Amino acid sequence: MNTRLVLALVMSGAVALTACGGTTKESANNDTGGTTNAAKGDPDAPLKDGLKITFLPKQVNNPYFTVAQKGAEQAGTAIKAEVKSTGPSDAAASSQVTYINTAAQQKQDALVISANDANAVAPALKSARSQGLKVVTFDSDAAPDARDVFINQATSNEIAAGQVKLISEAVGGSGEIAILSATPNATNQNAWIEVMKSELAKPEYSGLKLVETAYGNDDDQTSFQKTQGLLQAHPNLKGIISPTTVGVAAAARYLSSSEYKGKVQLTGLGTPNQMRKFVQDGTVKSFALWDPSKLGYLATYTAAALASGQITGAEGEKYKAGDLGDYTIGAKGEVVLGPPTVFTKDNIDQFDF
C-alpha cells in the first residue's frame, strides 16, 4: 500500500470528524444545562439511614484532605451513613473523572467532591446527577450547573483579605511580595488571588507590591523549587503568600534552611501540624486555615440532607448539620462554613490536625 495513501486516509478520517462549518468562540452558544430544582425540600424529613456517600478529594494522601476525610467519616458515623473515600494519587485536571463515573456506577446516593478543575469534572458530574446522585462540592467548586450545593470554607473575601492583612503585618507594611499558588486552574486559588489583588490596590496596602504569582502545582518539590526561584528572581522580596497547604509547607521548609530565614516573611493557608516547627523556629509568624475536618463534616451532612430530601439546594433552605448547628443555603447553592482561624505561636498548640 502506498504510504501516502495511508496518511491521506488517516487525515481525511480526522477531517471528516470535524464536519460542518464555522464554530468559533464567538458563535459558540454556551451549554446551559441549568438545573431547576422543581422538587421542594421537606425540612422535616428525617435523615435516611444507611446512605451510601462517596468522598472524593482532589488527591489522596494529601494531609489536608485526610483531615477533611476524618470529618466526613465522623459525620458518616453520626448519621449511620456508609462513607467511602477514594480518589486519584495525582491532582491532574482529568484524574477524578474515572472516580466520579465509578460512584455513579456503584449507585451511591451522594458524591462529596473537591474539584481539581471546575470544567473537566463537569460532564461526568452532570451524568452522575442524571443517574440520581446528589453532588456536593467542597473546598474547590465545580461548574455550578454540575453540582447541587457547594460548601465554601469561607468566603473568598474573608480568606484573601485575611492573607493580605497577615503578610502586611509580617513585613511591616511595605515591600515586594509574591504569591505561591497551587495549580493555575484551581477555582479557589484564582478567586483568592483576584481578591488579593484588589485588596492590595487599597490605600492601606500601598506600600506592598505584588511582583509575581508562581504555581507549585500542589507538589512539594515543585513548590520548594518555585520558592527558590522567587527569591532568586526578586532579591528585594519581603514576603510570600502561599494559600495552599502543600505550598506553604514547602516554602517554609526552604526558608527555614536558607539565608532568608526571618528576612523574608511567609504566610498562607497551612495545617498546624505541618507548620508547627516553622512557627516555633520563627520562620513563620502567623498563618490561617479553616478546620478541614469541619468542612468534610458539613459537606457530608449536606449530602445526607440532599439525599434524604430535606433540602434541594435552593437558596434560603435551612438545615441542621449535627454538632455544627444550623446552616442556610445562600445564593448559587453555596453554604459558607465560617471565617478561618489564624494560627500563631501562642495558639498553635491547641490544634492537632
Partner 1 sequence: MRSLLRWETALVFLLVVVALTGQVSTDGSFLSGGNLFYLGLDIGEIALIALPLTLVIVAGEIDLSVASVLGLSSALIGWLWNAGWPLETILPTVIVVGALAGAFNGLLVTRLGLPSLAVTIGTLALYRGLALVVLGDTAVADFPASYTSFGTTPLPGTDIPYPIVLAVVLAILFGVTLHASSFGRSVYAIGANEEGARFSGIRVKRVKLTLFVLAGAVAAIAGIVYTFRFSSARADNGLGLELAVVAAVLLGGVSIFGGRGTLFGVLAGVLLLGGLRNLLILRDTSTEVLTIVTGLLLLVSVLAPSITRRVGNLRKATP
**Minimum separation from the CB atom of position 148 to partner 1 (A):** 19
**Minimum separation from the CB atom of position 128 to partner 1 (A):** 11
Question: Smallest Cα–Cα separation from 300: which of 45, 85, 36, 46?
Answer: 85
Q: Which residue, 119 or 157, has its beta carbon nearer to partner 1?
A: 119
**Minimum separation from the CB atom of position 114 to partner 1 (A):** 15
**Minimum separation from the CB atom of position 143 to partner 1 (A):** 9
Q: Which residue, 70 or 84, has its beta carbon nearer to partner 1?
A: 84
Q: Which residue, 26 or 346, has its beta carbon nearer to partner 1?
A: 26
Name residues whose C-beta falls within 8 Å of residue 180's C-beta, 6 or more positions apart in sequence.
214, 215, 216, 223, 226, 227, 230, 240, 241, 242, 244, 247, 248, 251, 268
Q: Which residue, 61 or 350, has its beta carbon nearer to partner 1?
A: 61
Hey, what's the cell of 350?
491547641
* Contacts to partner 1 by CB under 8 A: 1-3, 6-7, 9-11, 13-15, 17-31, 33, 60-61, 84, 86-89, 92-94, 97-99, 101-102, 104-107, 117-120, 122-124, 127, 131, 183-185, 215
Q: Which residue, 104 or 255, has its beta carbon nearer to partner 1?
A: 104
**Minimum separation from the CB atom of position 291 to partner 1 (A):** 25
**Minimum separation from the CB atom of position 191 to partner 1 (A):** 15
**Minimum separation from the CB atom of position 187 to partner 1 (A):** 11
Q: Which residue, 7 or 45, has its beta carbon nearer to partner 1?
A: 7
**Minimum separation from the CB atom of position 109 to partner 1 (A):** 16
How many CB atoms lie under 10 A from the CB of residue 294?
21
Asked if 250 and 330 touch (Cβ cutoff 8 Å), the reply is no
Residue 185 to residues 182, 213, 240, 322, 330: CA-CA distances in angstroms? Answer: 8, 13, 20, 33, 24
Asked if 135 and 113 touch (Cβ cutoff 8 Å), the reply is yes
Question: Smallest Cα–Cα separation from 294: which of 133, 94, 152?
Answer: 152
Q: Which residue, 57 or 340, has its beta carbon nearer to partner 1?
A: 57
**Cα-based angle 29, 30, 34 (whole degrees, multiple of 5):** 135
**DSSP labels, 133-166:** -EEEEESS---GGG-SEEEESS-HHHHHHHHHHH
Question: Smallest Cα–Cα separation from 185: which of 116, 110, 108?
Answer: 116
**Distance of alpha carbon 4 from alpha carbon 16, whole angstroms:** 18
Q: Which residue, 183 or 300, has its beta carbon nearer to partner 1?
A: 183
